[in-house]
Amino acid sequence: MNDNERQFEEFVRGINFDDKYDPVHRDGLEEKLLCVLSKHPRRKWSLQTWRILMKNRVTRLATAAVLLVAMGGLLSVLDKSAAPAYAVGQTIDAIRQVKTVHLAGEFYKQGKFECWMRFGGDPDRPTHVWLGREGQSISKICSPQGIFGLNRRTNWVHLAARDERNKDWIPKFGSFFEEAVKKSGTDESVEIGTEAHADGKVFIVIRIKTPNRERKFLVDSVTKLPLSFSTTRDDDPMEMMKKTLAVKNLEWIRYNEQPPEGIFDMPPDAKLVESEADCMVDPDSGLVVDGISRQEACLAITKQACQAMIDLDVAKLESLALFFRLWPPEAWEKVRDAKAAGKWIHGYEITAAPYQEGDVWYVPCLLKLADNKTEMNTPMIKFYQMEGKTYCFAIGSKEKGIVD
């Protein structure tokens, strides 16, 4: 270990952290770090140094702040033409002043989405949220009226039974960038640089590399507000799909725009429904079953859905069975590969007559897989009246539960 590294480690060991953000304190940290780092600017921190930094008993904010102050110092030393040194405190300050955020991005599992948020001082707890998926008529809304799902096509509303402000679908915008950096460990590489665009503007770029993926953050060098986030490499996307709403990309982020009139409001003439699945159906999909019995309708939709699985008719599956509307493109690609390899569903057998439990019907069905394997699947079927017609949908299965 050389003198520069020893000075840096002694400095980190001696830092007295607290939970309160203090710009004077931050500037003092930055000055001390720059003093040490500028003596040997092109040498990377040692693994031991990194572990000391990460193992100190500090708050999350303090850890991320020291990390980014240090990287910001490296940036100003290595590249004299770069934007001013970047510290997470600057972005936190900027975000706290934001009144609204409008962003568009992509979830790993649910695909592309758009989101509006309004804040009242806490960037991690918006007072209003509107979240919608591309090409879908359904949106999730958080407002003083409550937490609810709204289907604009049917004007049906499902009210949440509990406060969902701490649920994963509520974007914690203030912590998004901080959390990404905080999770950096000894197996990650964090780099800060700049990026010049064709219009002459220069942006701060943060790159985080892990064994499985690489991510890139673009930050405005003037306002210090994040502008976009992208996953540039991912070797294991299925890992991220296990999470409720894992963000893959944020295409753009805009600030302090005026939200569309009434976007956070519940329509006064909306019809309340009892389950979230009820909010997903619409008269442009499903199976019209006027003129036949409930038993005949259950058999008809089960046979059509099973055949669509065998044929990999994605449009048909998404129309009849709500579960398949949640599959991302990557999941369909894996299924296509399995079918090409002869490892996908190749047959089915309805093993018993449809039966009713409450307002839901079930159809016992055996799916035939490769290598003579089978899997029991009992579709959960529900009927709806829309626009003067009777429709039925597979809203889940007895084995996996209702779609939500």
Percentage of the residues of the chain whose pLDDT score is greater than 90: 40
pLDDT number for residue 243: 74
Angle, helix 3-13 to helix 23-37, in steps of 10 degrees: 160
Query: Mean pLDDT lowest for which of 97-111, 156-170, 358-372?
Result: 156-170
Top-ranked range on mean pLDDT: pick from 9-18, 302-311, 323-332: 302-311
As a whole number, mean pLDDT of residues 67-75 equals 36
pLDDT number for residue 121: 80
As a whole number, mean pLDDT of residues 371-381 equals 93
To which H or E segment does residue 51 belong? Answer: helix 47-55
Query: Mean pLDDT lowest for which of 20-24, 130-134, 248-252, 282-286?
Result: 20-24
Higher pLDDT, 200 or 287: 287
How far apart (Å, rounded) are the C-alpha atoms in residues 216 and 237? 16
Q: Taking 90 as the threshold, does the pLDDT of residue 32 lie above it?
A: no
Domains of the chain: 274-402 (3.10.450)
Is the whole-model pTM more than 0.85?
no
Kindly report each contact of residues 294-298 with a partner whose C-beta sits within 8 Å and lies 24 or more positions away, as own/partner. 294/354, 294/356, 294/361, 294/383, 295/353, 295/354, 297/381, 297/383, 297/392, 298/354, 298/361, 298/362, 298/363, 298/379, 298/381, 298/392
pLDDT number for residue 124: 76
pLDDT band at 176 (very low <50, low <70, confident <90, very high): low
Higher pLDDT, 225 or 176: 225
Query: Mean pLDDT lowest for which of 32-41, 284-293, 324-333?
Result: 32-41
Q: Taking 80 as the threshold, does the pLDDT of residue 133 lie above it?
A: yes
pLDDT band at 39 (very low <50, low <70, confident <90, very high): very low
| Mean of per-residue pLDDT scores for the chain | 78
Torsion over CA: 201, 202, 206, 211 (sign): positive
Q: Give tens-digit pLDDT for 246-282.
A: 888 899 999 999 999 999 999 999 999 998 899 999 9
Higher pLDDT, 179 or 245: 245
β strands within 256-306, DSSP E? 271-272, 287-288
204 phi, psi to nearest 5 deg: -80, 135
pLDDT number for residue 360: 96
What would the DSSP string read from start to end of 206-255?
EEEE-SSEEEEEEEETTT--EEEEEEEEES-HHHHHTSTT-EEEEEEEEE
How far apart (Å, rounded) are the C-alpha atoms in residues 301 and 295? 10
How far apart (Å, rounded) are the C-alpha atoms in residues 282 and 20? 50
pLDDT number for residue 377: 93
As a whole number, mean pLDDT of residues 296-324 equals 96
pLDDT band at 331 (very low <50, low <70, confident <90, very high): confident
Query: Mean pLDDT lowest for which of 97-111, 335-349, 355-369?
Result: 97-111
Top-ranked range on mean pLDDT: pick from 172-181, 325-334, 349-358: 349-358
Q: Give tens-digit pLDDT for 377-388.
A: 999 999 999 999
pLDDT number for residue 58: 37
pLDDT band at 69 (very low <50, low <70, confident <90, very high): very low
As a whole number, mean pLDDT of residues 65-73 equals 36
Q: Look at strands 156-159 and 271-272 and give their pairing.
A: parallel
Q: Taking 50 as the threshold, does the pLDDT of residue 370 lie above it?
A: yes
Higher pLDDT, 227 or 3: 227
How far apart (Å, rounded) are the C-alpha atoms in residues 268 and 231? 41
As a whole number, mean pLDDT of residues 342-362 equals 95
pLDDT band at 188 (very low <50, low <70, confident <90, very high): low
